[in-house]
Structure 1
Amino acid sequence: MSGKGAPELTVSDCADLRVAVIAAQWHPTVMDGLVDGALRALRDLGIDEPTLLRVPGSFELPVVAKVLADRGYDAIVALGVVIRGGTPHFDYVCHGVTNGLTQVGVDTGVPIGFGVLTCDTEEQAIARAGLPGSPEDKGHEAVTAAVSTAATLRSVSEPWR
């Protein structure tokens, strides 16, 4: 979900969902904004006791997401930021994180809220971090997407056998 054209999601009856937020530690100002937005969204949804885990960087998000999915979480939110530098490192990390988190969601059936910012500059990251004056709040959006998807999955009845 991004900027113009983002859906208006309404989520209800989700206070009993077990949700985890995993956040990288690189770029602390941006990460603090993303985490604050995610926790605010969870409070707004009535989810008062989420699990919050910190990992060194964005590359570590998929493995922790997989373990949490295997331990019964209903939704997982992955937060990180990767800012382009002068080497191909940016591309490798972005692809690895994106592919890893996608694989966790597909393999486990647990929704993964993708709150990993992949930006060319720190200014772009700050604009998306939900900080005072930021036009976007990707931490909040990632929670809303993951919890909305978990609620949708819960509403699907078991197939007839």
Structure 2
Amino acid sequence: MKTSPSNIIEGKLLLQGNERVAILCSRFNHIITDRLIEGARDSFLRHGGSENLLDIVLAPGAWELPFVLDRLLRQEQKGVKKYHGICALGAIIRGGTPHFDYVSAEATKGIANTTLQHGVPVSFGVLTTDNIEQAIDRAGAKVGNKGFEAMNSLIELIDLCKVI
């Protein structure tokens, strides 16, 4: 006998049209991150977002993303959080030194910890790749655009938070 839960709660991939969202992206590796931003912006507009409610914030690199994210999540307008959600994007590409390991680990932990502190939906679209070819593939070439996918996740998460 097949059983299923009687109550499934999930978000929809649809904005109501009044959600203010920010795309937070690192400028470093801009050849990749520019494409991630394009994908995220495309998703936002395709799913009911309004151009005037989308901010694009550029941090110097992935290491700085948690700090800028914290500043964005602290912003309020008339006592209400300014953003309904933030889509965090970046590209960290492995080089010949351990720098990749430190930056990718701290950016990931920093974004996760900051998100939990503020209780505002944040999606994670920071690429961590072994080489430039993998990054290109994930920024729209062969594997889809991870910026588009990260914004899709954010939109669903914003809607889910309204329900729960």
Tell me the TM-score normalized by structure 1: 0.86
Picking from 120, 129, 133, the partner of 1:123 is 133
CA distance in 1, matches of 2:114, 2:46: 26
Question: In the TM superposition, what whole-angstrom CA distance separates every residue of 1:27-66 from its partner, at most 9, and x where no partner exists?
Answer: 2221111010010001011212201011111111111111
Q: Flag structure 2 segments of 5+ consecutive residues without an equivalent.
A: 1-10, 76-80
Picking from 20, 23, 32, the partner of 1:21 is 23
Picking from 68, 75, 83, the partner of 2:72 is 68
Question: In the TM superposition, what whole-angstrom CA distance separates every residue of 1:70-97 from its partner, at most 9, and x where no partner exists?
Answer: 2221110111001111111101101110
CA distance in 1, matches of 2:27, 2:74: 23
Task: Tell me how far 1:17 sits from its aligned partner.
Answer: 1.2
Matched, 1:40 2:45: no
CA distance in 2, matches of 1:14, 1:116: 26
Larger RCO, structures 1/2 (Cα 8 Å, 6+ apart): 2
Backbone CA RMSD of aligned residues: 1.3
- Kindly report structure 1 stretches of 4+ aligned residues shifted beyond 6 Å: none
Match of residue 94 from structure 1: 104
Q: Which amino acid aligns with 1:93?
A: V
Q: Which amino acid aligns with 1:12?
A: L
What percentage of aligned pairs have identical amino acids? 36
Tell me the TM-score normalized by structure 2: 0.84
Q: Flag structure 1 segments of 5+ consecutive residues without an equivalent.
A: 1-8, 157-161
